[in-house]
Amino acid sequence: MLDELKSAARRMGGDYALRSLMTDCRRLLSERGEANSVAIARTLVARFDSLPAEQQSSFFDKLASEFSPDPQAVLDSALAYAEKPTADNLIRLTERAEPPRQELLRRINRTPGGTEAVVRMRRALLDRLPKQPGLKALEADLLHLLSSWFNPGFLEMRKVDWNSPAQLLEKLIRHEAVHQIDGWDDLRRRLLPDRRCFAFFHPQLPDEPLIFVEVALVPDMPAAVAPLIDKTSPSADPDTYKVATFYSISNCQPGLKGVSLGNFLIKRVADELKREVPQLRTFCTLSPIPGFAGWLAKDGDWAALPGVKKPVAERALEARIQLKEACGGDWSKLASAPALQALPAEAQRALQRLCAFYLVHQTPQPGGDPVARFHLDNGARLERLNPMGNLSKPGLKQSFGMMVNYLYDLSRVEAHHEAFTQGEIAAARAVTSLL
């Protein structure tokens, strides 16, 4: 009985807080609210942060329904513009089609700490979106605004080294999403002279890295990640630096998912490294293939993929049958280093053929590998597959140990990007010959 009373009291308190929050939203959008926007926005943000999860969901529902454009006003303006496409009619249509919640979010953004608050709101919204598809328009508004506010022209790139503030170094350890950093000794090794780390920062979040990239300066294009992250390895001689390898890119702000940051960071890092280390001639990645194992385990009509020739699809299907027989029909057996090493040579070739098919033909389609899409859309070339490149538990589970090098030929990235937007994959002969 007492628990029920407490639960009822919490609901009543949450409902009151939600009503107060919505009142703050309307005040902030009013003319008087614009004059007192800082104080109102601070209160609004504090109320949102203190809302229980259920009321936060209700808040997003109300933003989506009560702060949308007036359909009749939009229709009238659209008809007026269609009848007479003048500049004034276009401006009026644009103004009426914009959801009022966008101006609400702009006014929140103007207050100290407002930018960070809007990023937090979007993070909370993204968690709810799968179960609340009616929030898609609100999510589109947030993505549109954050993409403008976090335009790379506003961002500052900083080199991170062992002398950087301890608080920043702790955040690198916490946010590393590709190859876990095993404490301070591991981080120190990743910041020795033959390694580099660069991060993007925003003026409104000066102490919060948005995204960071780790780079290894090595003699040759690497085929395995273990030597790059071996915390006991000595720092290499600077005279041996020939290749800059991007081996990890980590986003630190979930609320900025979908906002383009990494592609600009890679290009700026490459330019910076060319100035700092003139003898560098090759810029590449050593990348995971996180979608490969899941894709391979599913049956699919590969021959129906755009641009796939019948003989290529047939060879890929034959390779899948061969590999499935080699693992006894249990794909999970391939998530083991000893099992991979014990595969017959024909099955190992089949695994490489299937990986090449996945990257070349599935990447432009729904279900394509997200890392591949990122680098290829960024103008890189699919350069080389690396069997047994990542024998860590995540690497085995996600891609059966396979890794891939993407080559950034800085003179060709724009052409490769344009080709990718047309569904064409830039791939080296070493990859296409596997098909």
Catalytic residue annotation: 287, 375
Q: What six digits make up the tokens of 33? A: 């609210």
Q: Residue 274, SS3?
A: helix
Rounded to whole angstroms, the Cα distance separating 347 from 159 reads: 44
User: From the CB of residue 316, how many other CB atoms can be counted at a distance below 10 Å?
Assistant: 22
* Integer Cα distance of 435 and 431 in angstroms: 7
Q: Which residues contact 134 (CB under 8 A, 6 or more apart)?
A: 61, 64
Residues contacting residue 211 through CB under 8 Å, at least 6 positions apart = 199, 200, 249, 250, 251, 252, 253, 261, 262, 265
Among candidates 312, 299, 323, which has minimal Cα distance to 400? 323
Burial level of 395, CB count in 10 A (0-12/13-18/19+)? buried
Q: What is the DSSP string of 177-191?
A: -SS---HHHHHHHHT
SS3 232: coil
| Pair type for strands 403-407 and 381-386 | antiparallel
Sheet containing 282-285: give its strands across: 156-159, 195-201, 211-218, 243-251, 282-285, 403-407, 381-386
In total, the chain counts a number of residues equal to 435
* Bridge partners (DSSP) listed for residue 244: 217, 283
**Spatial CA neighbour of 202 closest among 158, 268, 161, 263:** 158
Nearest 5°: the CA angle 290, 296, 302 is 120
Give residues with Cβ within 8 angstroms of 383, minimum separation 6: 221, 284, 404, 405, 406, 407, 428, 430, 431
User: From CA 221, how far away is CA 237, in angstroms rounded?
Assistant: 16
Q: In this structure, what are the phi and psi dihedrals at residue 285, rounded to the nearest 5 degrees?
A: -120, 165
420/373 Cα distance (integer angstroms): 9
